[in-house]
Amino acid sequence: MRFDAYLPRNERQLLLFIAKRKSGVMLFAGGTDVVRAMQRDGMKLQCVVDISHLEKLRHIVVRDDIVRVGALTRISDFKNQNAVENNYKALREVADSFGGPSVANMATVGGNICAASSSADLLPVLLALDASVILRSLWRERTAKIQDFLLKEGKPDLRAGEIVAEVQFEAPKTGMFSEFRKIGRRRSLFMATVSVSAFIDLDLETTKVKRARVAFNALRDRMPGRAELVESALVEKKLERKVIEKAISKLSKEFSAPSDCNASAEYKLEAAKVLLEEQLNHFMEQARGG
Amino acid sequence: MSKHSITFVVNRKKHTLRVESHETLLRVLRDRLDLKGAKDGCGTGDCGACVVIVDGAIVNACLMLAVQARNRKIETIEGIGSAKKLHPLQRAFMREGAVQCGYCTPAMILAAKNLLESNPNPSQAEIRQAISSVLCRCTGYTKIIRAIESAASEMRGSRK
């Protein structure tokens, strides 16, 4: 592992540097993916740009009904966000089950997004929250929906000279919930074999579902994606046993994560149904004031 | 390869040294400062034997570049107790037989210390979660958890 390091003093210096150097440069924040890639997979780098100290890109704030999460927010930062987490438990659930606590203290939101992989725990949550990614370069700022940003496995839509600056999603209001569950081959320090995150916006008086979004870490292939048939089976219905059963039965039609060294396709589908059912049942209990 | 001058505090002592871009914090602690407590296990953030405390949070020193440690406060096992004056966690690990080969012990104790600072009376589940970054292949964790509970109780007692 040998390379040069550049330490920009602020975001502008960073953008200037990566605008000039077109290739061979890797941004280095938490290091949890980059060091692994170098040590284990033999990735060679000429230059890393240490961005871990750019504190202006580390924040979780709510403004104009939008939650804004800076790219250098550490995964463990989600453990101290009462305003957001009372409704969006998913964020805390990701932080609690993410690698070990030391890795969650280092790994960043931006790094997890750019991994664009089925083992990036934040991705199903951000898909279910219908998050947007704010991308900045020296020349412009653009916004991309998270599902459009994830082009394919390991390939985010990050263009030359661009950085992920922020992730944004709708701030929680009464009746809006989001949760996350994952299952793997061990009880701790595991990569998700299957994970699911559901977001639901409920009319608490009638328990009618106004909006529903359900995302898995791997839906049809090895990429995170939304289960739209399940979603439409929930919308405009009262959240009750029969509706939940019907919605879950739709999963067989759109969930086809392939067999791999962790589990068979059949196991994954079954696990996906169970995890989703647990989550929807929990929403139902909350809707009934449980 | 470029070098960088960094200043950081390790176990309350300020150090200024020149490090290479690709040196990890773990290498600098072990090879330059001769602090051999943090261990080099997997080198990829899986085993946790290299865990140290940086600005109040546990991190894997094998994943952190030395340049990233500039202006930060680092605590290693060498800073929390001495042979003459052991930390309550160190005493409890000895008392409860929580040390076998010892490779994970510095990291376990630092993870436990970090937990007890914010949560002096943790549940067993909280202890398990807090040390889940560190693998131990000897003890089966039972005695480690017992030692942390015992130290927590002792530390609460002495605070009254």
Whole-angstrom distance, CA of residue A152 vs CA of residue B103: 40
Does the pTM exceed 0.90? yes
Residue B140 belongs to domain spanning:
88-159
> Are both B13 and B32 inside the same structural domain?
yes
> Considering CB atoms only, which of B1, B63, B129 is closest to A106?
B63
> Which parts of B56-141 fold into alpha helices (H)?
88-95, 105-118, 124-130
> Are both B95 and B125 inside the same structural domain?
yes
Cβ-defined contact of A188 to B46 (cutoff 8 Å)? no
Q: Please tell me the distance in Å from B150's CA to the nearest CA on chain A.
A: 22
For the segment A227-267, what is each residue's pLDDT rounded down to a tens digit?
999 999 999 999 999 999 999 999 999 999 999 988 999 99
Residue of B nearest to A96 (CA): B129
Whole-angstrom distance, CA of residue A234 vs CA of residue A280: 10
ipTM: 0.95
- Quote the tokens at residue B19: 């490090």
- State the CB neighbour count (10 A cutoff) for residue A249: 13
How many Cβ contacts (< 8 angstroms) between chains A and B?
Answer: 88
Is residue A244 classed as helix, strand or coil in its secondary structure? Answer: helix
Whole-angstrom distance, CA of residue A145 vs CA of residue A225: 13
* pLDDT at res. A106: 97
Number of domains within chain B: 2
For A285, phi and psi rounded to 5 degrees? Answer: -60, -45
**Domain with B55 in it: what CATH number?**
3.10.20.30
Cβ-defined contact of A106 to B64 (cutoff 8 Å)? yes
For A277, phi and psi rounded to 5 degrees? Answer: -60, -45
> Are both B103 and B59 inside the same structural domain?
no
8-state DSSP, A157? -
Cβ-defined contact of A7 to B67 (cutoff 8 Å)? yes
For the segment A84-104, what is each residue's pLDDT rounded down to a tens digit?
777 899 999 999 989 899 999
Over residues B90-108, the mean pLDDT reads 97
pLDDT over 70 at B155, yes or no: yes
Beta bridge partners of A94: none
Given a cut of 50, the residues of chain A with pLDDT beneath it are none
B72-101 burial, b for 16+ CB within 10 Å, e for fewer? bebbbbbbbbeeeeebbbbebbeebebbee
Cβ-defined contact of A4 to B129 (cutoff 8 Å)? no
> Which parts of A50-178 fold into alpha helices (H)?
82-85, 89-97, 101-106, 109-115, 122-128, 146-149
Beta bridge partners of A225: A216
Q: Please tell me the distance in Å from B39's CA to the nearest CA on chain A.
A: 15
Is residue B36 classed as helix, strand or coil in its secondary structure? Answer: coil
Domain boundary, last residue among B60, B79, B98: B79
* pLDDT at res. A102: 96
pLDDT over 70 at B160, yes or no: no
What mean pLDDT value characterizes chain B?
Answer: 96
> Are both B71 and B100 inside the same structural domain?
no
